[in-house]
Every structure is written in structure tokens, then in C-alpha cells.
Amino acid sequence: MKEVKIGILGLGVVAQGFLEMLTSQKQKIEAQKGIKLIVSKVLVREGEEKTTIANKYGFELVTDVKKITEDDEISIVIELMGRVHPAKEFIKQALENKKHVVTANKDLLAQEGLELITIAKENQVGLYYEASVAGAIPILRTLATSYFADNIQQLTGIVNGTTNFMLTKMFEEAWTYEQALQAAQEAGFAESDPTNDVDGIDAAYKLIILARFAFGVNLTLEQLTIQGIRQIHPLDVSGAQQLGYTIKLLGSLIKKDHHLTACVQPTFVPDTHLLSSVKNELNGIFLKSDGIGESFHYGPGAGALPTGTSVLADVLTIVDRQLDGSATARFNPYQQPVHLEKDPEKTNAYFISLSPQIERKISEVQAELQTTFPKTIAQVQEATNQVALYVVTEQLTEAQLAELLAELTNYGEHHQPLQLMEV
């Protein structure tokens, strides 16, 4: 039976999940593929104690990456260290030494992916990264294969489990943002510094990768509109509940003609939409296309076994392509000219919660607003023992929204405008 030797960079949670899945699926892989996958070496930090794990799975621990990247017997390198550096340098070494690479490193791929893809192509090896987006959901491979013959119009998804967990608790348990963040950190979903998650940066990195597969375009972080969840107010939550919505941090890519809008932002999602049912740390991606129509992809967005399973699927894809002679094929060859749209006339519908000044009568505020801005619907609601005014707009341009917000300052303190999802 043919043996394929693997080297792993890093031995954290995901790496251990991969090892567990490889062990549990060993007989199935050998019976169906006729090959034996062997993890021969794993890179760890100097002084890091991982002997028990190494003994359990039977591999050698090394602290010098060259013992993996320059080992002629190793044909596949799996990078599961995280962060951009030194992961980029290590992957580059592996590719230049003619080794196929599998990684789950979304930050690296979003920022430096094009360079690494070019290096892989030059050295006629594969670079695969299904686990970099949405954990166990095979969305990248689906986009690269099942949607190859289709024209995607829209991709909208919940791709950050930390913020989805927090928003779920804010809705179902009436927790504040601070309470939800603390719970997410205690559960291990959020880092001690949660900036990348709560400010939408993590979701933006994943959206950049998704844009390459869905639309063949290469975006940078600076080109995206990014807004996180720090400013979600309890009045926004109660307003959404009373109006039949939930709030989700959505990453959206919408193509019209040859123009693309790309954004990450908290959004009012109708309770009737499938994305509203995605709760806690789970992920969900909604697609709309010419041929297939509407489809929905749902599952764990993180975790040792789900992510490890996606890594293993990439390894098996490489093995299959080695066997049929197509191992150098790019994971995603799709590229086309699409331009980001910055249309000043583009419109959106918004929800704005307002704590009115005590001396003003709510009925007067409603009447004045609907006279000044006929594209608004103002509703009075009782929320957390205080009167709140909820303003729901029809389609407004950014200029019209700014005009409305300036007007609202005359009536009280308004909170961050939240878009209503296009359906």
C-alpha cells in the first residue's frame, strides 16, 4: 500500500482534531483510496511539552521547520499555527521545496494569499484552504465545483461564530454586549482581545476569500465596508424583536451587472429568513444564483473536529489529484474583472432606535418626522422600562440617511443605524 507522509506545523486544538479524525477514518481511507496517510513530523515551539500527544499518534516532534520543509519523504505540509508570521515564511519554504500545502489560516490567506498561490503555481504544487472559512462547511469547494457552471448574484453569510454566539445571547437571554462578550471569552469562543471578532475584521478576512471563489475578484480589507457589533444597543434588540427581526453580523457580496458591493455589518434579518435561525457559534451562508436559485449552507464554523475534518478533506483531495496526475491544479482558478461599486445613489432601508427627550411629546416627534421624511415610519415602543422611538425607513441614499440622522438629533439620542436585509 502506498504511503503518503505528512508534516504538521503547530500542535494546537485544530491539529489535534485533525489527528483524531485521521485516526478514526484510517481504515475507511485505506480501503477506499488504497493509500496510508502517515503524520511523520510535527513542528512545536522550543520547550513546548507535547510528548504525550506525539507518543499517542506516533510522530516525531521537531523545533526546526526545515526538518519538515526539507524532508524529501514528506509530500504534504499542513500549517495550523495561525497568525500571518512566521506562518507565511514557513508555507513559502514548503511550497518552494515542492510540497503541497493545506492551511486553515484565514488571516494569512486574505492578506498574503495571492503571493502564496503564485508561488504554489510556479512550483507546480497545490495550496488548499477549505478550513479557512466557515469551519466544517465545505463552502469553498462547493463554490469552486458546484457553482462553476452558474452565475452567482449574491452571497450573504454569518461567518464569525463568536459574534453570532454573542448576538444570540443578547436576543434570547437579554444580555448586554458586555455580558455576552464575557460569556464568549469564558466559553473559549473569544480571545482576551476580541477586536478582530467584534469589529468585523475576522468576518471581513473570510469575505475576501469567499469573493475570490464566488466572483473571481481579489479584494483588500481597505476596500470593504466594515462595521462591528460594539454599538448594538439594547433598544436595537428589543426593537428587532417587536418588529419581527433578529440582528446578525452579516458578510455580504452582491453583484449587479459588473459591479460588486462588499460589506460586513450588523443587519436586521427577518425572522422568516433562514439566516435568522443560525444561532450560537454556528455559521450559515445564503447563496442566490441564476441556475440553482437560492441555497443555504449551514454548520459549525469552528472547533477541533469540524475544522480538522475540513483539513483532512483537503489532504485527501491532494492525494486524489496526485493519483490522477492533476495535483498541481489550483484550488480556485476563477478570475474575472468585477469592480467594487461606490454608487452614491445606492439605497438601503434602515432601522434607528431613538431615546426621545422627555420634554417632547412622542406623537409630535412622529408627526414631524413623517412630514419631514415621508420615507420613514416612526413607532413608539416600551423597552426596558423606557419609552423608545423606532424609526424604520424605506430606501434611502447615504446622503438622505445623513440628513435624517442630523434631524433626529433634535429629538433625542439616536443609536447606530442598522440596515434591513435585502430579500
3-state secondary structure of 63: coil
State the DSSP string of 264-323. EEEEEEETTSGGGG--TTEEEEEEEETTTEEEEEEEESS-HHHHHHHHHHHHHHHHHHHH
Strands 225-226 and 259-270: parallel
For 16, the 3-state DSSP assignment is helix
Reported as type and span, the H/E element at residue 71 is none
Could you confirm whether 206 is annotated as catalytic?
A: yes
Asked if 97 contacts 89 with a C-beta cutoff of 8 angstroms, the reply is no
Q: Which residue carries 462547493 as its cell?
A: 142
Which listed residue (88, 106, 206, 248) is catalytic?
206
The x, y and z cell numbers of residue 184, run together, are 464568549
Rounded to whole angstroms, how far apart are CA atoms 320 and 316? 6
DSSP string, 73-113: TEEEEEE---SSTTHHHHHHHHHHTT-EEEE--HHHHHHHH
Cβ contacts of 89 within 8 Å, gap of 6 or more: none
* Active site residues per annotation: 206
